Structure 1
Amino acid sequence: MPTLDDHDAEELVLLREEVKRLRQALNRLTPSLETILKRRGFRVYKKEPDDDLLVPDEPFRDSFFELLHKYSFRLLLRDIIKHQDRFTLEQVTRYSTTRVIRSYLGYLRDIRLITEGAAGYALSRAGITSFGPTLEWYIAELLKREFGAEVFWGVKFKRPKVGGDYDVLAKLDGSLLYVEVKSSPPKQVMAGEIAAFLDRVEDLAPETAVFLMDTELRMKDKLVPMFEQELAKRSSEPPPVLRLERELFHVQERIFIVNAKESIGRNLEKVIARYVQGRRGQ
């Protein structure tokens, strides 16, 4: 496979920055995300709750965001939340080397998310029950920073039939993107969650919807069959679930099923690119 030289790599970075700048300019010329939602009959009731959010103070957020790109760091945060009252280095060294985990813990101590004492470490903020809201925050920041999107996360609407939270909603080039974010492994996802996701897609009618699992495990083994079964319940001629590449799948190039293999950002980039290409062909 051909590799990029330094000049080509620099050109690619500049091109991505220009695309982001153009998207931001287009966002200013198109209706706001709130307006797009209102036109669909959706009024935001609540959004972006911070009661279960594990994010540092503003001066440290850029570096924290960069570390969240790493799957091993996200796995560590899940373990820390699980053992938040007290944990040792050994208890959270499951998915990376001792050296890497020790460096992560040192960083988290420096930004005051954890404390260190004679008995080990503890989470500085009590009562964090799930990594889910922090992962939603990260996806929202990723869409804002890397793709120039306007984003809401942790959104609640008052709807008569379809309830539940919309994890991440984004306006991209005037279109609506909905991302359902799962921080648990595939074995913990139930059929009812797939049904609820598809119900919300039908109710909201976004141009693109993504079911994103923060795992490097295969989607084909469990998630894809669950989508196929649920789609079959809704139509006598259900659309097929097709492979986009590797462990990325799509339904009619509108609903995408993705994991974190390679990187969440790269996989979202592929989804957005596929949607844009499909729209050009219409």
Structure 2
Amino acid sequence: MPEEKTFDELSYLRSEVRRLRQNLNLLTPALNVVLKRRGFLIYKKEPGDDLLIPAGKFLEDYYKTLHRYSFRLFLRDVIKQQNFFTCEKVTRFATAGVTEEYIQYLEEIGLIKKHKEGFALTRHIKSFGETLEWFVAEVFKREFGAEAIWGVKFKRPNVGGDYDVLARIYGSVLLYAEVKSSPPKQIYDNEIAAFLDRVSDLAPEVSLFFMDTELRMKDKIVPMFEEALRKRHMRAEVARIEKELFRIRNKIFIINSKDSIVRNLETVMNWCLRRSVGE
């Protein structure tokens, strides 16, 4: 059937693009070299203390399941009530039937266990943040053939904090992503300022401020960036690319997870590829 042929050709082309990106990565400087050229030496990375992932044999399917926005929201609720929860307590963002499936799935892969009349996590987790950073780094590696690391710390005298995700794309192009699992109402001015400070210090070709939400970015986050730019006397506007994807010039991008994380990252990367990232 024509539809089936089109799908096969599209899948083939995508796999070829991934293969070519991976081959390009082998012929270009490694991520640590790209960072060293900027005077950055990795002090710590990928801590894993609060990483909620299963054993290796379940990892591939878990990665695929994390693509579902409802599953990620469900995990946040589970972490908040990790010592004891029932299906009813974590049924906010999906139907009861889907939530029961998610609970059964987590039990099967060993992330939760039966506890009293409900369930509990098998280990203490402070927040969903590290798991989301891991997932975004995996997206860059698996979907775009990039070299990526997460939870990175540098010994820098002026600008501190973690660099949530760093990736090497298109050969030696450095991408920095700030990854937020909190909703827009829990983001404050100092977080935007800290992100812009790290962008200024690291000087990546591409920077992302990513929020794992399907809420509008124009309501709060975009105005916060506009105000931060004014305070820094930066003559740059926050322009819409499409839907809830925005850019500051062609170097800083503000995105959320509406529709698909992969699709939104792909849109940004295609935008950068078709325009000069050094503009």
Q: TM-score, normalised by structure 2?
A: 0.97
2:42 to 32, 41, 44: 44
1:85-96 correspondence runs (5 A): 85-96=83-94
| Structure 1 residue 155 corresponds to structure 2 residue 152 | yes
Equivalent-residue separation in structure 2 for 1:15 and 1:205 (angstroms): 32
Equivalent-residue separation in structure 2 for 1:238 and 1:225 (angstroms): 15
Runs of 4+ in 1 over 4 A off after TM superposition: none
Equivalent-residue separation in structure 2 for 1:280 and 1:89 (angstroms): 47
Aligned to 1:104: 102
Aligned to 1:121: 119
The Cα shift of 1:279 comes to 2.7
Aligned to 2:162: 165
Task: In structure 1, give the amino acid aligned to 2:126.
Answer: T
The Cα shift of 1:259 comes to 0.5
1:226-237 correspondence runs (5 A): 226-235=224-233
CA gap of 1:205–1:53, structure 2 versus 1, over 3 A, is: same
Equivalent-residue separation in structure 2 for 1:280 and 1:95 (angstroms): 38
2:182 to 170, 180, 184: 184
| Structure 1 residue 137 corresponds to structure 2 residue 134 | yes
2:205 to 204, 207, 211: 207
Aligned to 2:247: 250
Equivalent-residue separation in structure 2 for 1:238 and 1:91 (angstroms): 47
The Cα shift of 1:163 comes to 0.5
Q: Report the secondary structure of 1:244's partner residue.
A: strand
Deviations 1:78-97 (A, max 9, x none): 00000000000000000000
In structure 2, the gaps of 5 or more residues are none
The Cα shift of 1:116 comes to 1.7
The Cα shift of 1:124 comes to 0.6
| Structure 1 residue 175 corresponds to structure 2 residue 200 | no
The Cα shift of 1:119 comes to 1.4
In structure 1, the gaps of 5 or more residues are none
Task: In structure 1, give the amino acid aligned to 2:265.
Answer: L
The Cα shift of 1:117 comes to 3.8
Equivalent-residue separation in structure 1 for 2:98 and 2:11 (angstroms): 28
Q: TM-score, normalised by structure 1?
A: 0.96
| Structure 1 residue 239 corresponds to structure 2 residue 236 | yes
Cα RMSD for the two superposed structures: 1.3
Deviations 1:115-158 (A, max 9, x none): 124410100112x1010000000000110000000011000000
Deviations 1:150-196 (A, max 9, x none): 01100000001010000000001220010100000000000000000
Aligned to 2:4: 6
Query: Percent identity among equivalent residues?
Result: 58
CA gap of 1:262–1:68, structure 2 versus 1, over 3 A, is: same
Q: Report the secondary structure of 1:151's partner residue.
A: strand
Q: Report the secondary structure of 1:279's partner residue.
A: coil
Equivalent-residue separation in structure 1 for 2:4 and 2:144 (angstroms): 23
Equivalent-residue separation in structure 1 for 2:261 and 2:224 (angstroms): 22
Task: In structure 1, give the amino acid aligned to 2:246.
Answer: F
How many residues were matched structurally? Answer: 277
